[in-house]
């Protein structure tokens, strides 16, 4: 059990994590990355299946290839949505720069073969959602573990729109479904927190 002082410190820690989009040009030790991911694997998972797999990219060539291949799909989607060419160019360039300038890029995947199978679609869909939730819990734990190590992170969902591209570039098996892209590294300062919704808007008490 935590004493009152420890509880205050823990709540403060949880509330002060921020999304970081700019990193120092400083490598992150492999041992630190492994330690963070090991902590992430203690997140809860449905049926304790632990249906996650993490691809860690520090190689500049691979980061560049992944960023540029994903950018092609992003550009096509923006064009189809009717965005002006100038804005498309700016957004795509920004996306590539963010991925390639991050010292570490982690791609958490859902391993679908580890999920339970049912004879009906409804339960299989529920199982799939539980798998996604399990990976998301591991991602959140990873972000907090990284913060504890003095590292900043940015959770991006771009791989959900480019699953086949990410699989191909990273040579992933068919049942490994990319769920996110986490940019990670050391940073200069933490940004100001955005406002949070008041509790009365997000809680319904049934007493």
What's the rounded Cα separation, in Å, for the pair 156 and 181? 5
For residues 113-142, give the mean pLDDT.
Answer: 98
Give the per-residue pLDDT at 51: 98
Residue 1 binned pLDDT confidence (cut-offs 50, 70, 90): confident
CA 51 vs CA 35, 67, 97, 133, 136: distances in Å: 19, 25, 30, 10, 11
| Of 23, 25, 26, the residue nearest 188 (C-alpha) | 23
Give the per-residue pLDDT at 86: 96
Q: What is the pTM of this model?
A: 0.95
Domain 20-66+99-187 carries which CATH code? 3.40.109.10
Give the per-residue pLDDT at 192: 85
Q: Which residues contact 131 (CB under 8 A, 6 or more apart)?
A: 46, 49, 51, 110, 112, 114, 115
For residues 81-90, give the mean pLDDT.
Answer: 96
Are 70 and 158 in contact by the 8 Å Cβ rule? The answer is: yes
Give the per-residue pLDDT at 114: 97
pLDDT exceeds 90 at position 169: yes
SS3 content of the chain, % helix, strand, coil (to 5): 55, 15, 30
Neighbours of 98 (CB within 10 A): 19
């Amino acid at each position: 059990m935590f004493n009152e002082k420890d509880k205050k410190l823990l709540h403060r820690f949880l509330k002060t994590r921020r999304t970081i989009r700019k990193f120092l040009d400083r490598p992150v030790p492999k041992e630190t990355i492994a330690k963070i991911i090991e902590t992430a694997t203690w997140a809860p998972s449905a049926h304790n299946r632990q249906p996650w797999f993490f691809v860690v990219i520090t190689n500049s060539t691979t980061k560049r290839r992944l960023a540029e291949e994903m950018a092609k799909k992003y550009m096509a989607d923006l064009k189809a949505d009717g965005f002006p060419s100038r804005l498309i160019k700016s957004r795509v360039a920004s996306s590539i720069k963010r991925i390639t300038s991050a010292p570490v890029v982690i791609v958490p995947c859902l391993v679908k073969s580890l999920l339970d199978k049912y004879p009906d679609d409804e339960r299989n869909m529920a199982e799939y959602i539980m798998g996604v939730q399990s990976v998301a819990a591991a991602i959140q734990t990873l972000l907090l573990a990284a913060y504890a190590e003095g590292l900043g992170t940015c959770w991006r969902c771009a791989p959900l729109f480019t699953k086949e591209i990410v699989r191909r570039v990273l040579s992933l098996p068919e049942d490994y479904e990319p769920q996110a892209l986490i940019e990670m590294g050391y940073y200069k300062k933490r940004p100001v927190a955005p406002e949070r919704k008041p509790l009365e808007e997000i809680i319904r008490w049934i007493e």
